[in-house]
Amino acid sequence: MREKNLQYMLDWMAIQELAVEYGQAIDYGQDTGDWSRWENVFTPEVTADYSRFMGSDVVTLKREQMPEVAKTGLRSFKRVQHATAMCVGIQFQSDTQAEAMSYAEVAHYFPLGGVQQEWTIVARYTFAVEKTPSGWKIRKVLLDPVHYRGNLLGLELVQGKRLV
């Protein structure tokens, strides 16, 4: 176990901020088309496990490929809003490796017949994080759905259904 000194606290705060940045950077990318902020939360190679959510395979990708994963899943939504809890559980394995777990409510907005619809997922994110020369980065992400609410067509849209 790590000694809880100043460096421990600085690392703990940086990992908390990283967990929040993961969601806010997706929202920013969806709103602006600039995905560089989201790409920057990852190590050069990242394992993405969205299998419990999207029914997809676990994949290991270059960080530059991660925006395509998000764009594909969000293509049907006009806006997305991640409300990530700042209460992030962190377990340090070493001075440069840790596991972080946080909860998020993610609202997805889409039009249907001229009426805005909302679909929200409450999820637990588990991140394997690594301290790099440019700060803490996500090496692996697991999204575990806890609950859905709103128009469940949203889940089908994430999983690839297209509106005609």
Query: Which CATH code fits 6-158?
Result: 3.10.450.50
**pTM of the complete model beyond 0.85:** yes
How, if at all, do strands 42-49 and 135-150 pair?
Answer: parallel
Task: Quick: pLDDT tens for 90-105.
Answer: 999 999 999 999 999 9
Q: What confidence tens digit (pLDDT) does each residue in 137-159 have? A: 999 999 999 999 999 999 999 88
pLDDT score recorded for residue 163: 75
Contact 119, 150 (CB under 8 A): yes
Domain ranges of the chain: 6-158
How far is CA 149 from each of CA 38, 47, 92, 97, 108, rounded to the nearest angstrom? 26, 28, 34, 35, 11
Q: Tens digit of pLDDT for each residue in 49-107?
A: 999 988 889 999 999 999 999 999 899 999 999 998 767 899 999 999 999 999 999 99
Cα 129 to Cα 110: distance, rounded to the nearest angstrom: 32
User: Is residue 164 very low, low, confident or very high in pLDDT (cuts 50, 70, 90)?
Assistant: low
pLDDT for position 2: 76
